[in-house]
Structure 1
Amino acid sequence: MLNIAETLLRWCRDARPFALATVVDVRGSAPLPIGTALAVDTDGNAAGSVSGGCVEGAVYDLCRQVLREGGTPHRARFGDSDDEAFAVGLTCGGELDVLVRAVDPTAQPQIASALDEVVRGLPVAVAQVVDGPVGLLGATLSVLGDGRVVSGTLGDGSVDTVVVDEALALLRAGRTARVALGGTGRGCPGPLSVLLQVHAPRPRMLVFGAVDFAAALSRAGAFLGYRVTVCDARPVFATAARFPYADEVVAEWPHRYLERTEVDARTAVCVLTHDAKFDVPLLRLALSLPVGYIGAMGSRRTHDERLRLLRDEGVSEEQLARLCSPIGLDLGARTPEETAVSITAEIIAHIGGGSGLPLSRSTGPIHPLSSVDRRRHGPRPPGTRTTTS
């Protein structure tokens, strides 16, 4: 439903009931991904799409039927092996499952709350039960990027906790996914399948210092999906031509730029200037902000002197403990490109709660973080998986 959030929020504010059809499963070459939605209000107005046009008419009719009947959500499958699906036009070779449910904004205010977060541009994940007990089918819960549940419940506190963990991981990755929750352990009442629709603007990487290492790091950051800014006080070096992979290049004193820019718990701050007149005011400010990673380049001697100057500026030991310096993991890096890999590897490990050790030298699960650890360190990008709750 996030693809039509503005329209749905307007309908909610008008207290206008509507039917919401959501793609909850896709196999093969179906036209649109999971989470895509089409909505139909009580006047017959439609918004969105579930198939790029192939089966819109059939889904529209199903929405109208659900609005008339109310009550239990309806599940439908369309695919080229299904005569009915072929008749309505899904001939692309894939299959899609659609869940249609009636929404009454006055009785379900949590829907409007979630949509409001999306329209305001905040990172939010909206969880919806798409398989499970009839009483839970269609239940929703929305989670902000900091782990706060802002609206809704899936009917059980232990289930909500597991879903919050999954939501945080997917917010970090910036992707929508369907997650299976098993029926054993942690109080999960039975097998559930939850669609987690994610609205997550790209995380930011702020690179201070227009040096060769910054050029390589901006390229690596862009590859990882960051929105990269390179900032340097020297206009002759801070040019877009020198940093083609950066989303923006800013010629300004680093701490002044950081004062006026937007950051959050997913932001990575990389200080590559190793010059005290830039580093100290910049790091003093950065260490007071709720960013996910702060690293600074320099030798161990530079690092020790930097710590002394920061302490003289009143930076606490607790704040200094957040500083990753010298920046990067020990990979034996020499070139700017190798150093960029070293830095981004440390960012991934730091935000994901990893040790940075070779997996061949560790034991136990490869993804061992508990929900408490994930909230402390931030979530790690997930792969495709099934979770036992």
Structure 2
Amino acid sequence: MLNIADTLHRWCREQRPFALATIIGVSGSAPLPAGTSVAVDEDGTVVGSISGGCVEGQVYELCRQILHDQEAPRRAWFGYSDEDAFAVGLTCGGELDVLVQRIDPTAQPHLTRALSEAAGGRTAAVAQVVDGPANLLGGLVTLHGDGRMSGTDLDADTSRAVAEQAAALLRAGRTARSTLGGDAATCPERLTFLVHVAATRPRLLVFGAIDFAAALSEAGRFLGYHVTVCDARPVFATPARFPHAHEIVADWPHRYLRRTAVDERTAICVLTHDAKFDIPLLRLALDLPVGYIGAMGSRRTHTERLRLLREAGLTEEQLTRLRSPIGLDLGARTPEETAVSIAAEIIACTNSATGRPLSRTTGPIHRPAQPAGFPHPGPRFPAETRSRRGAAYTRTLQP
């Protein structure tokens, strides 16, 4: 739902009821991930998309029905049709599990606060019950960036249990599903909930004020990173040379890295290929819980760099985290091509992907996003629907 937080926040401020259809499970090659929503208000105004167009009409009508009749939340399932690729279904071959529910802002003021945080670019999360007892389906628990619960549709004990797991996913910065319950210690009834996370931008730290850094900072900004360019030479580290960076720092790289905030979503790119900068910086970087560390240089430079890092006391396990020479093998030569190569490796590393051509791989094209340390539980489609792929169908599942 946070993909349309701006509009939903405005509707909530205006106390305008709306129907919200959210992807709660994805299987196969679906165009959009779990957590993506479309909403329809009482005037028929629609915002968002959950399929790139192929099932929007069906979802729209279901939203209008639930909103008009004030029905309880309902799950709908959409699958692929081999017999008629233009029938209602996902022509891309994917399968979607969708939860449709009516939202009344006057009865759920805590949602307005969470949407305000998300729309303002601040960290927030909304945990949405997507499977469990009928009376809890669609229930919402909202959290602030510090993990503090700000409102809930559930009872106190269940809310605390949901908030505890949701806070961990919020810290990881990714939308994902989680399950709890089935025991007296948490919740007596088993619940599955989807945690919608609006996180601050991940960081891209680029060290070395060179032409390659300028191209990489532009690519990083395009990908949604908060980009910092750092160089010890003030004459080169200027806003004029790096107009796409959010922050320009003139300082020794390792000194800046020691005092700046990083997390598992941070990508560090060392483009200086100068040992007096690289070695102190990489000694520190390889001991930090960041998601990506890459260093530019030839294979000869890399071999010498590894020798110096070993002499500095780094272990082989730490050195395996270093991506050098940096980037994927695209035959890149220009700064712009090299930036694409590096950006592609960061994307592949972030998503635990191979970086191989899709034409040389098998299986689903779109993989579920996996927050660091949190396995993705995946969609839970009924067995009878999974066995019927190849038939044209759209099923509505009652809770």
TM-score using structure 2 length: 0.59
Asked if structure 1 preserves the Cα contact closer than 8 Å seen for 2:20 and 2:63, the reply is: yes
1:112 aligns with 2:133: no
| Cα contact 2:30–2:96 (8 A) shared by 1 | yes
1:106 and 1:145 map into 2 onto residues whose CA distance is 24
| Alignment correspondent of 2:101 | 101
Change (3 A) 1:251 1:178: closer
> Residue type matched to 2:375 in 1?
G
Partner of 1:384: 376
Q: In the alignment, which residue of structure 1 is the partner of 2:18?
A: 18
CA shift for structure 1 position 21: 0.8
Q: Equivalent residue for 1:375?
A: none
| 2:148 alignment partner in structure 1 | 148
Q: Distance in 2 between matches of 1:72 and 1:53?
A: 25
Percent identity of paired positions between Structure 1 and Structure 2:
52
Is the 8 Å Cα contact of residues 73 and 137 (structure 2) preserved in structure 1? yes
2:254 is the counterpart of 1:272: yes
1:228 CA displacement: 4.8
Matching residue of 2:277? none
Aligned to 1:200: 199
Distance in 2 of aligned mates of 1:380 and 1:79: 29
Conserved in 2, the CA contact under 8 Å of 1:239 and 1:249? no
Are residue 7 (structure 1) and residue 7 (structure 2) matched?
yes
Matched, 1:129 2:121: no
Q: Which amino acid aligns with 1:167?
A: A
Q: How far is the alpha carbon of 1:197 from its aligned partner?
A: 1.2
CA pair 227-106 structure 1, distance change in 2 beyond 3 A = same
Aligned position for 2:291: none
Find the residue that maps to 2:5 and give its secondary structure. Answer: helix
Q: 1:153 to 1:336 in 2, by over 3 A?
A: farther
Give the structure 2 partner of residue 178 of structure 1. 177
Tell me which residue corresponds to 2:382.
none
Aligned residues: 283
In 2, Cα distance between equivalents of 1:135 and 1:92: 34
Would the aligned equivalents of 1:80 and 1:94 in 2 still touch at CA under 8 Å? yes
The offset of 1:170, in angstroms, is 2.5
User: What is the deviation of 1:82?
Assistant: 9.9
- The Cα shift of 1:191 comes to 1.1
Deviation digits for residues 204-262 of structure 1 (CA, Å, limit 9, x no counterpart): 4668x8699xx9xx99xx8xx9745243463245379999xx956625468xxxxxxxx
- SS across alignment from 2:21: strand
Q: Which amino acid aligns with 1:40?
A: V
Counterpart amino acid of residue 57 in structure 1: G
What do the CA deviations read for 1:61-106 (whole angstroms, capped 9, x no partner)?
A: 1111101211411111111259999732422222111111111111
Question: Any conservation in 2 of the 1:23–1:97 contact (CA below 8 Å)?
Answer: yes
Residues 144 and 70 from structure 1, CA distance in 2 versus in 1: closer, same or farther, beyond 3 angstroms? same
Is 1:333–1:342's contact at 8 Å kept on the other side of the alignment?
Answer: no
Write the distance in 1 (CA, Å) between the matches of 2:191 and 2:52: 28
2:37 corresponds to 1:37: yes
- TM-fit CA distance, 1:126: 1.1
**Per-residue deviation at 1:144?**
2.4
CA contact (8 A) 2:209 2:230 kept: no
Query: Relative to structure 1, is the Cα distance of residues 97 and 32 closer, same or farther in structure 2, using a 3 angstrom cutoff?
Result: same
Query: Helix, strand or coil for the counterpart of 1:190?
Result: coil
Q: Report the structure, 1 or 2, having the larger helix content.
A: 1
Alignment correspondent of 1:264? none
Query: When the two structures are superposed, what TM-score results if normalisation uses the length of structure 1?
Result: 0.60
Corresponding residue for residue 169 of structure 1: 168
Pick closer, same or farther for the CA change 1:250–1:193 going to 2, 3 Å: same
Contact 2:203–2:262 (8 Å) recurs in 1: no
Shift of 1:383: 2.9
1:22-78 Cα distance to aligned partner (Å, 9 max, x none): 111111112221111111111111111121111111111111110121141111111
In 1, the alpha carbon distance for the partners of 2:319 and 2:154 equals 39
The 5-angstrom pairing of residues 237-316 of structure 1 reads 238=237, 247=245, 250-252=248-250, 272-273=254-255
Structure 1 residue aligned with 2:292? none
Would you say the 8 A contact 1:79–1:86 is kept in 2?
A: no
Show CA shifts across 1:103-147 (max 9, x none): 111111112111101011111121100111111111111222321
Return the alpha-carbon distance in structure 1 between the equivalents of residues 79 and 71 of structure 2.
Answer: 26
State how far apart, in whole Å, the 1-side matches of 2:112 and 2:84 are: 34
Structure 2 unaligned regions, length at least 5: 265-282, 289-304, 322-370, 379-399
Output the CA distance in 1 between the equivalents of 2:84 and 2:208. 60
Measure, in 2, the Cα distance between the counterparts of 1:83 and 1:95. 16
Distance in 2, Cα, partners of 1:292 & 1:29: 30
Most deviating of 141-150 and 94-103: 141-150
C-alpha change, 1:131 and 1:237, in structure 2 (3 Å) is same
CA distance in structure 2 between the partners assigned to 1:249 and 1:182 by the alignment = 45
Q: CA RMSD in A?
A: 4.3
Could you tell me which amino acid in structure 2 is paired with residue 133 of structure 1? Answer: P
SS in 2 for 1:97: strand
Equivalent residue, structure 2, for 1:262: none
| Cα pair distance change 1:328/1:251, threshold 3 Å | closer
TM-aligned CA distance change 1:199 to 1:381, over 3 Å? farther
Alpha-carbon separation, structure 2, partners of 1:82 and 1:165: 43
* Structure 2 contact 147–170 (Cα < 8 Å) conserved: no
